[in-house]
């Protein structure tokens, strides 16, 4: 198979659901800006693109009607560029990257795009009208239970203490705050956002502004403050809003090319997607998915944990991220503490600080991982996440010289 080169990868800021800067901006407008940002950084004509795969966890309402095709048209791509919407819940954005890369690897396409979109302010988690099959829900309710309950299950079954979860969350915020201060989020494109304002005469007008940073980072987080938070999913549990991922709005996009296209168009590739895989696990502890998917990925590629220089291990919840790291042998605090010279996990902070815009996250983390690999000269990086329903996904990225 041919190599699939990532020549650009960008994202909008991730902003808090309902309260954040992007709450009143339609998902179509967010993904259009991500697509234009990615094609702009790649420096190629829009007509060179063959197809777009766009991840979305709840593709309905404003995110429905095949937003993968609609977004292309809104972004000014020619009619010849096709698009589809992909759903693998929390890994939708990474699944989109993998499917586009596979087309390039197989020789079916020369230039593809991939991305992710989720406006959790406009389309609620779970969708507008969820309808589980009653008979199946009675027989096997685990598929439909709250993700927070699965996080409690992981904490209880694998003895992940409240103290450790809070400490992990604290360090996530500190890493993100430091990364913002030092300007490490180079993958972010300034994003035009909408805000509806009521005037003195009672009319409502849409005003715009530019948002260029993740607005959920809590730089003033303290361990003491986290300890005071009440549990959310179980009265005697350990999972709180402080050690869980933020629900967030955001979009991301990337351009993926064959080696022939890279040469023909004179583009300098950033990295290449080496391999992608998924693995299933019990639905009621879905957070352990990376502990299954990552070893499978490493076996497929002949790599060892020690070969991986950077990890983007999505922090759906502190409990599951910690457990997954422990199972890989990189659970020691030195690998994720913000003040550790040996940190390799979520070095710019994770979803606890930056948010988890569901279907966008896989593409968002790709942009962050590639940017950090370039900045630090790291050859191999892995991106992984757990998936609602009981799965894990993982991808191996290799830096281009």
Helix (H, G, I), strand (E, B) or coil at 63: helix
Token pair of 277 as six digits: 């895989």
Name the residue with tokens 């041919």. Answer: 2
Q: Are strands 271-280 and 5-11 parallel, antiparallel or unpaired?
A: antiparallel
Assess whether 356 carries a catalytic annotation.
yes
Dist CA 341 CA 355 (whole Å): 25
CA-nearest of 9, 12, 17 to 245 is: 17
pLDDT tens string, the chain, 401 residues long: the values are 899 999 999 999 999 999 999 999 999 999 999 999 999 999 999 999 999 999 999 999 999 999 999 999 999 999 999 999 999 999 999 999 999 999 999 999 999 999 999 999 999 999 999 888 888 888 888 888 899 999 999 999 999 999 999 999 999 999 999 999 999 999 999 999 999 999 999 999 999 999 999 999 999 999 999 999 999 999 999 999 999 999 999 999 999 999 999 999 999 999 999 999 999 999 999 999 999 999 999 999 999 999 999 999 999 999 999 999 999 999 999 999 999 999 999 999 999 999 999 999 999 999 999 999 999 999 999 999 999 999 999 999 999 98
Dist CA 238 CA 229 (whole Å): 10
* pTM metric for this prediction: 0.97
Token pair of 349 as six digits: 């902070």
Burial class of residue 142, CB neighbours in 10 A (0-12, 13-18, 19+): middle
Look up the CATH architecture of domain 5-124+245-399. 3-Layer(aba) Sandwich (3.40)
- Output b/e per residue, 124-136; b: 16+ Cβ within 10 A: eeeeeeeeeeeee
Q: Are strands 248-257 and 380-387 parallel, antiparallel or unpaired?
A: unpaired
Catalytic residue, chosen from 171, 281, 356, 360, is: 356
Structural element, H or E, at residue 10:
strand 5-11
* pLDDT in the model for residue 139: 86
* Backbone conformation region of residue 347, classed left if phi is above 0, alpha if psi is from -120 to 50, else beta: alpha
* pLDDT in the model for residue 101: 98
Dist CA 392 CA 401 (whole Å): 30
Name the residue with tokens 């042998």. Answer: 329
What lies within 8 Å, CB to CB, of 200 at 6+ separation is none
Catalytic residue, chosen from 90, 112, 281, 360, is: 90
Dist CA 235 CA 252 (whole Å): 36
DSSP secondary structure letters along 237-287: ---BSTTBPPPEEEEEEEEEE-HHHHHHHT----EEEEEEEEEE--GGGGG
Helix (H, G, I), strand (E, B) or coil at 395: strand
Name the residue with tokens 């309808």. Answer: 131
Strands (DSSP E) contained in 76-230 are 82-86, 111-119, 191-198, 204-211
* pLDDT in the model for residue 142: 86
């Amino acid at each position: 198979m041919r190599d699939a080169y990532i020549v650009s990868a960008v994202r909008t800021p991730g902003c808090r659901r309902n309260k954040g800067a992007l709450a009143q901006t339609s998902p179509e407008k967010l993904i259009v800006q991500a697509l234009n940002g990615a094609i702009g950084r790649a420096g190629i004509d829009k007509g060179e693109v063959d197809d777009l795969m766009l991840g979305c966890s709840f593709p309905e309402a404003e995110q429905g009607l095949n937003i993968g095709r609609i977004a292309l048209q809104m972004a000014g791509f020619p009619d010849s560029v096709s698009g589809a919407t992909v759903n693998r819940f929390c890994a939708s954005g990474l699944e989109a990257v993998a499917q586009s890369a596979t087309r390039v690897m197989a020789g079916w396409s020369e230039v593809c795009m991939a991305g992710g979109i989720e406006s959790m302010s406009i389309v609620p988690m779970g969708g507008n009208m969820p309808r589980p099959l009653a008979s199946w829900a009675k027989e096997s309710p685990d598929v439909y239970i709250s993700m927070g309950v699965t996080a409690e299950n992981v904490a209880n079954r694998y003895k992940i203490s409240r103290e450790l979860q809070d400490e992990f969350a604290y360090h996530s915020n500190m890493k993100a705050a430091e990364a913002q201060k030092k300007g490490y989020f180079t993958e972010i494109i300034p994003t035009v956002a909408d805000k509806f304002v009521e005037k003195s005469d009672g009319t409502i007008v849409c005003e715009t502004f530019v948002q260029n940073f993740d607005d959920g980072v809590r730089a003033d987080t303290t361990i003491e403050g986290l300890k005071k938070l009440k549990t959310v999913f179980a009265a005697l549990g350990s999972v709180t809003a402080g050690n869980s991922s933020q629900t967030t709005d955001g979009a991301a996009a990337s351009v993926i090319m064959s080696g022939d296209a890279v040469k023909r168009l004179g583009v300098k590739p950033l990295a290449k997607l080496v391999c992608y895989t998924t693995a299933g696990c019990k639905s009621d502890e879905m957070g352990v998915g990376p502990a299954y998917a990552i070893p499978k990925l490493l076996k497929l590629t002949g790599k060892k944990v020690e070969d991986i220089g950077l990890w983007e291990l999505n922090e759906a919840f502190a409990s599951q991220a910690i457990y997954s790291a422990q199972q890989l042998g990189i659970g020691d605090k030195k690998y994720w503490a913000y003040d550790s010279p040996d940190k390799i996990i979520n070095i710019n902070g994770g979803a606890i600080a930056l948010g988890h815009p569901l279907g966008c996250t896989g593409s968002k983390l790709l942009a962050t991982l590639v940017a950090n690999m370039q900045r630090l000269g790291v050859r191999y990086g892995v991106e992984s996440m757990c998936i609602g329903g009981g799965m894990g996904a993982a991808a191996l990225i290799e830096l281009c010289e």
